[in-house]
Chain A
Amino acid sequence: MDGLGKTILKILFLSALGAFAIYWAALAALAGDWKVVPFVVLGAAGVSWLLLSERAYPLRYLAPGLLFMTVMVLVPVVYNIYISFTNYSTGHILRKDQAIQVLTSKEIPTSPPVRFRFTAYGTADYLRVIVISTPEGPLFVSPEGKVMDPGSFAAPDANGDGVPDSVDGYPPLGTREFLANHYPAVQRIRIPWEEGWLRLATLRDFGYFIPRYRYDPERDAIIDTRTGKVYYAGLDRFVAEDGEPLDPGWPRWVGLANYIRFIRDPRYHQAFGRVFLWNVVWAVLSVAFSFVLGLALAILLNDRNLRLRKLYRSLLIVPYAIPAFISILIWRGFFNTHVGLFNEVLKSWLGPRAGVPWLDDPFWARFSLIFTNVWLTYPYMMLVSLGALQAIPGELYEAAAIDGAGPWKRFTTITFPLLMVSVAPLLIGSFSFNFNNFTIIWLMTQGGPVVEIGSQAGATDILLSYAYKLAFYGARGNEYSMAAVFGVIIFVIVAVISGISFTRTRALEEVSRGL
């Protein structure tokens, strides 16, 4: 019976889903939004297949996670590659129809301006209606912007001036009351009027506005209503015959143009070279120093007879337990050149003129970043090394001691090689992570200080933060497509690192088997 109940439930659910899908697809098709239809149909078909087919059974478990992973990881990767072949940037981000919509909703007042007085009726919290006095008589407009039938309101007008004394018992609102309570909602109202629309022009008037541009679908052109100038649709925007373009435009496929620009334009490839070099140095030094410190502390604590070692371990991992962004902002405060703790201490020791331009000088900014990153990551290295040290069998040391090997010899011949077997893959992982460790760079220095006037790439920019600047803090608008090119390049680098990591792990496994 249980099985039967389930089957019925399934059939009911799928029928509802199917009905909904058909309804939605039909609505979209009627609205002319054909692109949505295949998604709806395929989605519904997919869900049905998932629930009906026995072979799809394992997929029922995988589908929810897979869906989100596809939408937010795989699709962005593919889309990012696509963007790198387009001219997505400020002015080229909307679709063509959206760009037309933006252009045709631009407005100009008529000359001379046409204005109609209006009166709002209601209370402080409630707006009943707006009455606009036009030459053709009063126009009753709801707060949502709909023109209403005047007959549906009780609107006595004793003096016959066309402005009702009250509407449905609500008195006219004073300007101040109107401004304080209803202005934002009324501001959004557009009432179709002759060739344009009416909208709030002043606190007392609605004005008549006409569109600045008109779209002519037959010529696929935008026409300036004042001058009659025609802007024809080009590849990525509307352009007049004299070459004057209209913003916004839309993106288009540009092939390898961005990559060629990257190689040809010294602005980009010089910046790339400088940034890449520091990016590698940064990741290598961060990993090396934090590993050395972490390993040293692990060796220090790896003594079963050491009292308080549990306490030490707990206290030493505090930097690991504090959210990194908070620690980074604290360290940034310590390193602040003007009001920071370190310079205050230096000044109190060495006199008022002492001080180091920690975050304002390329070398010291790099130093400060690596220092902070070592503080952040040594606990991880320590924990990893402690685990690995404890896994090394004690007999090896006894045998070495019998052979007369000293502590240093024992470390270099036994501890370190065995440690590296398990730790090396994690070091590569850490390198890979720090290579793209945007958070610390951005929160500490935002890639600064400036090294070259006119170049956005600062002394501590890594590839990811430089791409981020191009995309979202661009000096020449937002260069999404160039940022996407950098994304693709970083992608290749990460793939290479991961490839090395995988093969190396296997190599190390073989080494350990040989021992």
Chain B
Amino acid sequence: MASRRVRPGRIARRGLRHLLAWIAVAFALFPALFVLGTSFNPMNNIATTRIVPRNPTLANYLAVFEKGLGVWLLNTVKVAGIAASVSVAFCALGAYAFSRFRFRGRRAGLLALMLVQTFPQTLALVAIFLILHHIGFYAPWIGLNTHWGLIIVYLGGSIGFNTWLMKGFFDSIPRSLEESALVDGATPFQAFRWVVLPLARPILAVIFVIQFITLYSEYLIANVILKGKEMYTLSVGLYNLIAEHYSDRWGEFAAGAVIGAAMILILFYALQSQIISGLIRGAVKE
């Protein structure tokens, strides 16, 4: 390498590339770094904040937890966690059937799945709201302003896309392993449970994480269904915390934002390559 002759023009072009890359990196990172600095800043408005605060303090973190951040985080993890795990379980079952069984209505079913997942659930938001309103008279625990109601809505909305995505993965798992299990007398369900599922575990984990992140960030449906500070998820809570209070709660919001983003950032970078390939397979963010 060192012996290779390098022309000055090439060095200049290299330098330019690095310069441009660093400008882009600065553009990408500055909001996050700025907010990280703000969260430790003793002053609570935007005007006085700087990336490295003068007298760092944890006061903002304490204040935002007092305003309910802990409850919102727990609510969000509960709702997103339950909805995502049940969704993965149901979708794995459904995707396996679409991938391995041949039955009447299979093609129509696949087509229907693909059509359904192109329409965002939020288009029928009014209907969802009224359905929960009516369900509430019969089963108050899944009516409006309940976490279980929200979980069911999320669950229904995620089935189409996840089944579609997982079917593709199952198609890529060779059938020979299951077939030998079937020859040995296993039922199709046993073959699914003990042969295919263990092989698909990493993929299921990734789909779970993608779904979790998506639901973690969901605002619209949660805002319609949940009323009252104790019920809020993180997105609704943080929005209501800051929306009309940029002049006096910026520091607290920054602390909440850091905590709210930290978990997702860790998840995202831990599974970076798998998540990206999963997302690019067809999803746009959210």
Contacts and interface: CB of A to CB of B under 8 A. Distances in A.
Nearest to B49: A341
Interface in B1-21: 14, 17-18, 20-21
B17 A303 contact: yes
B204 interface: no
Contacts of A65: 90-91, 93-94, 159, 163
B141 interface: no
B169 interface: no
A380 B285 contact: yes
A263 B87 CA distance: 41
A442 B219 contact: yes
A315 B24 CA distance: 9
Given A72-B121, A76-B131, A333-B250, A327 B116 contact: no
A330 B126 contact: no
Interface stretch (A77-85, A183-191, A411-419): A77-85
B145 to A, nearest CB: 14
A321 B122 contact: no
B68 to A, nearest CB: 16
Given A71-B156, A438-B122, A318 B29 contact: yes
A262 B68 CA distance: 42
Chain A, interface SS category: helix
B143 to A, nearest CB: 14
B128 A322 contact: no
Nearest to A78: B127
Given A93-B130, A436-B122, A487-B125, A297 B282 contact: no
A374 to B, nearest CB: 10
B28 A319 contact: yes
A173 interface: no
B285 A324 contact: yes
Nearest to B128: A76
B65 interface: no
A67 to B, nearest CB: 9
B155 A323 contact: no
Contact of A315 (B20, B29, B89, B213): B29
B130 A68 contact: no
Interface in A463-498: 464, 467-468, 471-472, 480, 483-484, 487, 490-491, 494-495, 498
Contacts of B194: none
Which of A69, A300, A331, A468 counts the most B-chain CB atoms under 10 A from its CB? A69
B25 interface: yes
A383 B156 CA distance: 29
A376 interface: yes
Contacts, number: 254
A480 B130 contact: yes
A321 to B, nearest CB: 4
Contacts of B128: 72, 76
Please classify how large the interface on chain A is, using the bins under 10, 10 to 19, 20 to 34, 35 or more: 35 or more
Contacts of A341: 34, 46, 49
A383 B29 contact: no
A276 interface: no
B208 interface: no
B269 to A, nearest CB: 7
B286 A88 contact: no
Given A72-B121, A88-B130, A430-B284, A322 B155 contact: no
Contact of B103 (A58, A314, A322): A58
A483 B126 contact: yes
Given A73-B156, A314-B272, A329 B253 contact: yes
Contacts of B97: 58-59, 61-62
A323 B90 contact: no
Nearest to A482: B126
A297 B238 CA distance: 32
A436 B217 contact: no
B123 A491 contact: yes
Contacts of B101: 57-58, 61
A116 interface: no
A244 B128 CA distance: 33
B264 A72 contact: no
In which size bucket is the chain B interface?
A: 35 or more
B180 interface: no
A68 B127 CA distance: 15
Max count, chain A CB within 10 A of own CB: residue among B94, B98, B153, B157: B94
Interface in A44-78: 57-59, 61-62, 64-66, 68-77
Nearest to B242: A329
A439 B131 contact: no
Contact of A339 (B89, B93, B153, B247): B247
A443 B133 CA distance: 25
A75 B24 CA distance: 45
Contacts of A325: 217, 219, 235, 238-239
B46 A336 contact: yes
B152 interface: yes
A332 B91 CA distance: 37
B32 interface: yes
Contacts of B45: 339
Contacts of B123: 77, 80, 436, 464, 487, 490-491, 494
A375 B28 CA distance: 7
A191 B210 CA distance: 54
Contacts of A258: none
B238 A326 contact: yes
Contacts of B93: 61-62, 64-65
The 10 A-B residue pairs with the shortest CB-CB distance, nearest first, are A72-B156, A61-B97, A76-B124, A76-B127, A80-B127, A65-B90, A79-B127, A321-B268, A69-B159, A323-B217
Interface of B: 14, 17-18, 20-21, 24-25, 27-29, 31-32, 34-35, 45-47, 49, 89-91, 93-94, 96-98, 101, 103, 106, 109, 115-116, 118-131, 133, 137-138, 152-153, 155-157, 159-160, 163, 188, 213, 216-217, 219-220, 224, 235, 238-239, 242, 246-247, 250, 253, 257, 260-261, 264-265, 268-269, 272, 276, 279-280, 282, 284-286
Interface of A: 36, 57-59, 61-62, 64-66, 68-77, 79-80, 83, 88, 93, 98, 297, 300-301, 303, 306-308, 312, 314-327, 329-334, 336, 338-341, 344, 375-377, 379-380, 383-384, 387, 426, 429-430, 432-433, 436-439, 442-443, 464, 467-468, 471-472, 480, 483-484, 487, 490-491, 494-495, 498
18 contacts: A58-B103, A62-B98, A68-B90, A68-B155, A68-B159, A71-B152, A80-B123, A306-B17, A312-B24, A315-B29, A317-B276, A318-B28, A318-B32, A324-B217, A324-B286, A326-B257, A326-B261, A338-B246
Given A312-B21, A438-B220, A483-B126, 12 more contacts: A62-B94, A64-B93, A69-B159, A80-B124, A80-B127, A93-B133, A306-B17, A323-B260, A336-B46, A387-B280, A426-B284, A429-B284
